[in-house]
Amino acid sequence: MLYIFSNENKFRTWRKLWIALAEVQHELGLPVTKSQISQLKKCADNINFEVAEKFEKELRHDVMAHIKAFAQQCPDAGKIIHLGATSAYVGDNTDLIQMRDGLNLLLPKLAGLIAVLSEFARKYKSMPTLAYTHLQPAQLTTVGKRACLWIQDLLTDLRGLEYALSEIRFLGVKGATGTQASFLELFKGDSKKVQELDSIVAGKMGFKNSLIISGQTYPRKIDCAALNALASIAVSASKFGNDIRLLQAFREIEEPFESSQVGSSAMAYKRNPMRSERLCSLSRFLMSLQANTGATAGAQWFERTLDDSANRRLVIPQAFLCCDAILMLYSNIAKGLSVNEEIIRKRVMEELPFIATENILMAAAESGVDRQAAHERIRVHSMAAAANIKDGGANDLMKRLKGDKLFAKAKTRIGKALEPRNFTGCAEEQVDEFVKSEVKPALKEMADRIGKPQTCEVKV
């Protein structure tokens, strides 16, 4: 990703665009010679950055500076560089190429992450764990079912990336205001050749088609679509990161922690979830960039203004680099999650007596006890058990209920009430169905693109 948005790649792409334009202009009969094109190709990768920088200081125009720098290397071809084009031809088309390549880099990483979490979900699909609403213990779910909530968000993001990619079409050769007037002039009024030029150049740069309608620039709403997709990944990552931070506080599930890792300079025992914290931090930054692109798109006047330029040069690379870092961190955490099964069981059993009261209420009613009387008695015993816990005692709710004559006929059912798997509902089946019906089909479409995991380190 760093290379995609590097100056090296940016200005090489500018030169590729100038060469593609010259080649097609030659093919369509304009006065551009093969020898001129050969000279351009010979110097394409040898970018004289220092010369371009000197020209830019003088001209205060980056595109003209690089045209002059390129022309200095190719004296015979200098006069045909950028023929009929405007700055957006290289600037905007390069932005589109970079975003296309960036999205294509993120897609397999996201799919790979989904695959990792899918394995985790299947492994722990049957393991009961406390579910929380309002961050208070509610009913039970399973560790694998909770992981499917994370995956579901990521599948939405996968579709979002694919949509954003489908929205990226080549600007093409549109001229100063999008009318292609300069190219129509070059081709002596032959609009068919203008359209051929547009189409063939798009193909040379890897696009199936180009925009039919544009101003000087491509619509900045394309940036919005791309940033919306990236920000959506950040939302999902933030949700996951916060869940892991909370689970680590409960000591139920922990992120990877190296043997020599230091949690705190003062408190040597600390095991802080710093990867998840970084994940949330970066996600918040990326989400903040989303609104920027909308403001920029809405501030474009007529066929274009330049107040988008400096802004976009910061926002778009930052967003893609940040999203790349987020996916690498997310994957690193997901691959190394440590599930503390005994602690999870202990916490389940601490709360299960309260969770089981609904089943006990139904058992009492079935044994002939008045439902309302049983409900009131369970409420009283539950409050007493909760008070005992707050005083440092154990949860003795089951003992209290078994000792209550009102529940004498339901004693056997009460004894069987504390089996956690009886309270996870359809969670296990839901995991199987979700993986089968939604995860596997999505990953199958991406199977040939999910590469080997990268080992690069995120240093922010």
Q: Both tokens of residue 316?
A: 């778009």
Spatial contact of 144 and 126, defined as CB atoms under 8 Å apart:
yes
Fold (CATH) for 357-417: Ribonucleotide Reductase Protein R1; domain 1 (1.10.40)
- The H-or-E segment that residue 53 falls in is helix 49-59
> Is the pLDDT reported for residue 233 higher than 60?
yes
What is the C-alpha separation between 447 and 317, in angstroms, rounded? 27
Question: Which of these ranges, 369-383, 391-405, 443-457, has the smallest mean pLDDT?
Answer: 443-457
Give the pLDDT band of residue 405 (cuts 50, 70, 90): confident
Annotated active-site residue 437? The verdict is no
Q: Both tokens of residue 338?
A: 């440590």
Strands 338-339 and 136-142 come out as unpaired
Q: What are phi and psi of 253, to 5 degrees?
A: -135, 135
Q: What pLDDT is attached to residue 269?
A: 53
Query: Which residues of the chain does CATH 1.20.200.10 include?
Result: 88-127+143-172+217-338+434-445
Q: What are phi and psi of 220, to 5 degrees?
A: -70, -5
Q: What pLDDT is attached to residue 150?
A: 99
Active-site entry in 134, 259, 265, 437: 134
What is the C-alpha separation between 286 and 306, in angstroms, rounded? 24
Mean pLDDT of the chain: 93
CATH number of 7-83: 1.10.275.10
Q: What pLDDT is attached to residue 456?
A: 62
Mean pLDDT of 152-176: 97
Q: What pLDDT is attached to residue 303?
A: 94
| Other C-beta atoms lying within 10 Å of the C-beta of residue 42 | 12
> Is the pLDDT reported for residue 452 higher than 70?
no
Q: What pLDDT is attached to residue 8?
A: 97
Spatial contact of 228 and 165, defined as CB atoms under 8 Å apart:
no
> Is the pLDDT reported for residue 419 higher than 80?
yes
Cα 54 vs. chain centroid, distance in angstroms?
A: 39
Q: Which residue has the tokens 């579709």?
A: 159
What is the C-alpha separation between 299 and 221, in angstroms, rounded? 11
Q: What angle do CA 432, 438, 444 make, to 5 degrees?
A: 110
Spatial contact of 142 and 428, defined as CB atoms under 8 Å apart:
yes
Q: What are phi and psi of 255, to 5 degrees?
A: -75, 165
3-state secondary structure of 304: coil
Query: Which residues of the chain does CATH 1.10.275.10 include?
Result: 7-83
Q: Both tokens of residue 118?
A: 């899918």
Annotated active-site residue 134? The verdict is yes
Q: Which residue has the tokens 């900045």?
A: 220
Residue type, 301: W
> Is the pLDDT reported for residue 398 higher than 60?
yes
User: Each residue of 237-265: pLDDT tens digit?
Assistant: 999 999 999 999 999 999 997 655 555 55
> Is the pLDDT reported for residue 268 higher than 80?
no
Strand partners, 132: 137
Spatial contact of 107 and 158, defined as CB atoms under 8 Å apart:
yes
> Is the pLDDT reported for residue 412 higher than 80?
no
Fold (CATH) for 88-127+143-172+217-338+434-445: Fumarase C; Chain A, domain 2 (1.20.200)
Active-site entry in 6, 166, 191, 264: 264
What percentage of the chain has pLDDT greater than the value 90? Answer: 80
> Is the pLDDT reported for residue 123 higher than 70?
yes
Strand partners, 254: 338
Q: What pLDDT is attached to residue 361?
A: 87
Cα 182 vs. chain centroid, distance in angstroms?
A: 41
Query: Which residues of the chain does CATH 1.10.40 include?
Result: 357-417
Q: What pLDDT is attached to residue 258?
A: 67
**Helices and strands of the chain, counted as H and E runs:** 18, 4
DSSP state of 306: S
Mean pLDDT of 308-324: 96
User: Each residue of 343-396: pLDDT tens digit?
Assistant: 999 999 999 988 888 888 888 888 888 999 999 999 999 999 999 989 998 888
- The H-or-E segment that residue 436 falls in is none
User: Each residue of 8-33: pLDDT tens digit?
Assistant: 999 999 999 999 999 999 999 999 99
What is the C-alpha separation between 146 and 431, in angstroms, rounded? 9
